[in-house]
């Protein structure tokens, strides 16, 4: 019997029957062509998740009026018949693997930055204030800040807002109905009307909309746009075509915002108007740095399951819920009646084969998400989606080559880069030996995993996946030149040097903390000064504070944790500050005036073993290729390690043919 009988059972949304209750959440992946048409990459992205077994794939923010009302030109356009061939190709690719596909219909209103860049005002329900990020929200590397503010910094961009008049409202509502009909003709199995996240429809729903023309004010006025859209879509597609809405359960961080009680009434009215289901979400004031991770991309399981259960019980609605659940928790949500379907986003980015593996009782082989927020961080930077642990995400259309002549490869170092490289090279057909001087694999990831649950899951997955290969693992063995004889390629993944130039006298470095990270002891005193900018520095400061130390983190930059996606970085910084940690930015390491019992130096590392390249080159035949990856090549993080491993597979392919 399946360990996930509820999650893997069939289900229905209106007339649409799904093979399981797993839904790919809609996301702004930015994989369409520059004109909004469906790209080969986009087809491959969805096809991979259909092949992997998900029941329903939702296309995020499909644009009903493209190029108007659009945030980015590489969002899928469904506004004209010229897009039908690509839409049909996408639907056929998904259907070939037994999944269903639906488009999330959207007009982005205040977030239509593409309108700004084209010199047009954004059409909104009411005039909204200029963005004013809080202090944590301004902690960005300059290049990130520039990317996020592109529409405000580009010469000629139109910063104005146009409050929608009657003609605008009627026209935009009509675009929803027209787009829904086009999705039906393209073979999409249903449509989701986006009525959340501050977009056009949601901006009418919020109680901040106090229009006096019948499109705002009381709840009757504020729901008028949504209900009119539902009715017109339903009239256009007929009674049997699945139509549902995505709706905020509440708005966080607003003095005047949507409440669950009122949104439940909105849901009742939507169901009466013809919606088949409610996809329940949440939103927040975007001036607050943690808005995303407090609401629609929750860092912790918070109110969404409770709201979903109450809505389902009170209205009888079919409910799609989500919220950083693993498979066991998701199965429980369906079993106890919290929801009918569970959406997964980050986990299906990390491993598109998750549903199939669950069905095959191979849940321990699912590549875990480590919540580094590269995915949603890239969207904030207006670049295509990427994943820290799955470097093939966004490159799904690129087939991995299989060499006709496998190469003999020695990988030195069994940290994340070495493990990923050994596994991927073995899967590609090469014969791999993995050499590690320690007596177990993992490198510095072992210490990080001791205090970080997702990293512990990732390390466990790496170990299990390695065990499933025929990689020759040699532990407790140092690299010597004779060891490298007889190989076609030598891969140095020996990690970085955690020591720094001008190390403060008496300061601890990361290796000195190994035992303390695994088991709190008296290594670290009551008052701690952490020096560094990296994610490692931020994480160690968080751990110090969680263990009761008075902690100050010092960085010469305007930020910390640059390896994290921006929204995840802000989450971790805010959590550290909320826990009572102190942060000194733009402060020289030698200029601080903080009394401390312990100084921990976590400044940027330098490549530790690059001198090995010269010694190996002198000892090995000239045709042996030497590759340096991971932190041995320079400072980086897990996303850099996994990307380097994939690039290595591609680099070895021509020589292996």
> What average pLDDT does this structure show over 25-52?
97
Supply the pLDDT for residue 644: 93
pLDDT tens, residue by residue, 526-569: 999 999 999 989 999 999 999 999 999 999 999 999 989 999 99
Find all residues with CB under 8 Å of 361, minimum gap 6, and list them: 2, 3
Range(s) within the chain of domains with CATH label 3.20.20.70: 11-380
Third-level CATH fold of 408-498+606-656: Rossmann fold (3.40.50)
Compute the distance between CA of residue 299 and CA of residue 117 in angstroms, rounded to an integer.
32
Q: For domain 511-601, which architecture applies?
A: 3-Layer(bba) Sandwich (3.50)
Supply the pLDDT for residue 481: 84
Q: Tokens 């000194």 map to which residue?
A: 584
Find all residues with CB under 8 Å of 69, minimum gap 6, and list them: 63, 106, 107, 108, 109, 112, 115, 123, 172, 200
pLDDT band of residue 580 (cuts 50, 70, 90) is very high
pLDDT band of residue 633 (cuts 50, 70, 90) is confident
Is 60 exceeded by the pLDDT of residue 609? no
CB atoms within 10 A of CB 509: 16
Backbone angles phi, psi at 314, to 5 degrees: -80, -30
Compute the distance between CA of residue 209 and CA of residue 197 in angstroms, rounded to an integer.
15
Q: Tokens 């005036």 map to which residue?
A: 593
> What average pLDDT does this structure show over 153-173?
97
Q: Are strands 341-344 and 472-475 parallel, antiparallel or unpaired?
A: unpaired
Is the CB of residue 175 less than 8 Å from the CB of residue 64? yes
Is 80 exceeded by the pLDDT of residue 405? yes
**For residue 508, what is the DSSP state?**
B
Is the CB of residue 163 less than 8 Å from the CB of residue 121? no
Supply the pLDDT for residue 617: 85
Compute the distance between CA of residue 494 and CA of residue 632 in angstroms, rounded to an integer.
6
Range(s) within the chain of domains with CATH label 3.40.50.720: 408-498+606-656
Residue percentage of the chain with pLDDT more than 90 = 82
pLDDT band of residue 185 (cuts 50, 70, 90) is very high
Compute the distance between CA of residue 51 and CA of residue 352 in angstroms, rounded to an integer.
8
> What average pLDDT does this structure show over 10-24?
98
Structure tokens at 548: 């009761």
Helix axes 416-427, 638-656, angle to 10 degrees: 30
Is 70 exceeded by the pLDDT of residue 522? yes
Third-level CATH fold of 11-380: TIM Barrel (3.20.20)
Find all residues with CB under 8 Å of 268, minimum gap 6, and list them: 315
Range(s) within the chain of domains with CATH label 3.50.50.60: 511-601
Residue percentage of the chain with pLDDT more than 70 = 97
Angle (CA) 202 336 365, round 5°: 90
Backbone angles phi, psi at 282, to 5 degrees: -155, 165
Q: If you average pLDDT over every residue of the chain, what do you get?
A: 94
Supply the pLDDT for residue 606: 62
pLDDT band of residue 612 (cuts 50, 70, 90) is confident
pLDDT tens, residue by residue, 345-401: 999 999 999 999 999 999 999 999 999 999 998 888 999 999 999 999 998 888 777
Is the CB of residue 571 less than 8 Å from the CB of residue 380? no
CB burial class (10 A; 0-12, 13-18, 19+) of residue 1?
A: exposed
List the single range of 13-22, 411-420, 455-464, 634-643 with lowest mean pLDDT.
634-643
Helix (H) / strand (E) element for 281: namely strand 278-284
> What average pLDDT does this structure show over 81-110?
98
Compute the distance between CA of residue 610 and CA of residue 631 in angstroms, rounded to an integer.
10
Is the CB of residue 271 less than 8 Å from the CB of residue 278? yes
> What average pLDDT does this structure show over 592-620?
81
Positions of E strands within 334-420: 341-344, 408-412
Is the CB of residue 535 less than 8 Å from the CB of residue 637? yes
Is the CB of residue 221 less than 8 Å from the CB of residue 211? yes
Find all residues with CB under 8 Å of 491, minimum gap 6, and list them: 409, 410, 411, 412, 418, 421, 425, 627, 628, 629, 648
Angle (CA) 190 195 198, round 5°: 140
Q: Tokens 């791999």 map to which residue?
A: 432
Residues pairing with 435 in the sheet: 412, 474
Supply the pLDDT for residue 461: 98
**For residue 405, what is the DSSP state?**
S
Supply the pLDDT for residue 499: 66
pLDDT tens, residue by residue, 465-483: 999 999 999 999 999 888 8
Runs of H (alpha helix) within 122-209 = 142-148, 150-153, 166-186, 200-205
Compute the distance between CA of residue 114 and CA of residue 152 in angstroms, rounded to an integer.
11
Compute the distance between CA of residue 573 and CA of residue 538 in angstroms, rounded to an integer.
8
Compute the distance between CA of residue 170 and CA of residue 191 in angstroms, rounded to an integer.
20
CA distances from 281 to 48, 278, 311, 447 (A): 25, 9, 12, 36
Structure tokens at 116: 């700004």
CB atoms within 10 A of CB 214: 10
Which of 221, 237, 244 has the alpha carbon at shortest distance from 315? 244
């Amino acid at each position: 019997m399946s360990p996930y009988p509820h999650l893997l059972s069939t289900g229905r949304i209106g007339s649409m029957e799904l093979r399981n209750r797993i839904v790919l959440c809609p996301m702004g992946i930015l994989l369409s062509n520059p004109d909004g048409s469906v790209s080969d990459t986009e087809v491959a992205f969805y096809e991979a998740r259909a092949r992997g077994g998900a029941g329903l794939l939702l296309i995020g923010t499909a644009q009903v009026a493209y190029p108007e009302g659009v945030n980015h030109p590489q969002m899928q356009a469904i506004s004209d018949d010229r897009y039908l061939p690509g839409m049909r190709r996408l639907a056929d690719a998904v259907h070939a693997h037994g999944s269903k596909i639906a488009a999330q219909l959207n007009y982005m209103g205040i977030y239509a930055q593409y309108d700004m860049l084209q010199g047009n005002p954004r059409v909104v329900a009411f005039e909204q204030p200029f963005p004013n990020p809080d202090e944590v929200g301004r902690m960005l590397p300059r290049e990130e800040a520039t990317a996020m503010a592109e529409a405000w910094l580009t010469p000629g961009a139109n910063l104005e807002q146009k409050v929608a008049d009657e003609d605008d409202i009627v026209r935009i509502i009509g675009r929803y109905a027209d787009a829904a009909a086009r999705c039906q003709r393209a073979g999409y199995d249903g449509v989701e009307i986006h009525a959340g996240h501050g977009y056009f429809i949601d901006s009418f729903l919020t109680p901040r909309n106090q229009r006096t023309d019948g499109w705002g004010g009381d709840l009757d006025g504020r729901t008028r746009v949504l209900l009119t859209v539902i009715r017109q879509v339903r009239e256009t597609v007929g009674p049997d075509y699945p139509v549902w809405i995505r709706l905020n359960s509440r708005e966080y961080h607003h003095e005047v915002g949507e409440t669950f009680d009122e949104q439940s009434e909105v849901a009742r009215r939507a169901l009466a108007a013809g919606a088949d289901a409610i996809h329940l979400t949440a939103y927040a004031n975007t001036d607050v740095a943690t808005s995303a991770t407090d609401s629609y991309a929750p860092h912790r399981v918070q109110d969404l399951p409770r709201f979903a259960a109450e809505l389902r019980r009170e209205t009888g609605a079919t409910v799609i819920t989500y919220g950083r659940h693993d498979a066991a928790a998701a199965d429980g949500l369906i079993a106890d009646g919290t929801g009918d379907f569970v959406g997964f986003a980050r986990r299906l980015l990390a491993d598109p084969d998750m549903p199939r593996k669950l069905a095959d009782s191979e849940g321990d082989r699912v590549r875990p998400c480590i919540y580094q927020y590269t995915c949603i961080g890239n969207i904030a930077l207006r670049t295509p989606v990427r994943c820290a642990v799955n470097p093939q995400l966004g490159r799904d259309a690129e087939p991995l080559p299989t060499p006709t002549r496998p190469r003999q490869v020695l990988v030195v170092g069994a940290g994340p880069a070495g493990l990923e490289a050994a596994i991927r090279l073995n899967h590609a057909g090469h014969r791999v030996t993995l050499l590690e001087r320690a007596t177990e694999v993992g490198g510095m990831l072992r210490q990080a995993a001791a205090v970080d649950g997702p990293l512990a899951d990732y390390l466990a997955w790496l170990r299990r996946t390695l065990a499933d290969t025929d990689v020759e693992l040699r532990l407790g063995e140092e690299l010597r030149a004779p060891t490298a004889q007889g190989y076609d390629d030598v891969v140095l993944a020996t990690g970085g040097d955690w020591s720094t130039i001008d190390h403060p006298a008496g300061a601890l470095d990361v290796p000195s903390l190994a035992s303390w990270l695994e088991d709190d002891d008296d290594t670290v005193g009551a008052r701690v000064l952490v020096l560094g900018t990296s994610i490692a520095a931020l994480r160690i400061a968080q751990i110090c504070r969680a263990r009761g130390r008075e902690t100050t983190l010092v960085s010469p930059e305007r930020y910390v944790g640059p390896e994290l996606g921006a929204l995840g970085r802000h989450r971790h910084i805010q959590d550290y500050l909320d826990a009572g940690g102190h942060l000194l930015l733009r402060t020289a390491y030698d200029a601080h005036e903080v009394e401390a019992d312990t100084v921990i130096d976590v400044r940027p590392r330098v490549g530790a073993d690059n001198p090995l390249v010269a010694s190996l080159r002198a000892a090995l035949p000239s045709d042996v290729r030497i590759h340096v990856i991971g932190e041995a090549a320079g400072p980086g993080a897990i996303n850099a390690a996994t990307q380097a491993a994939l690039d290595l597979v591609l680099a070895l392919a021509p020589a292996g043919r």
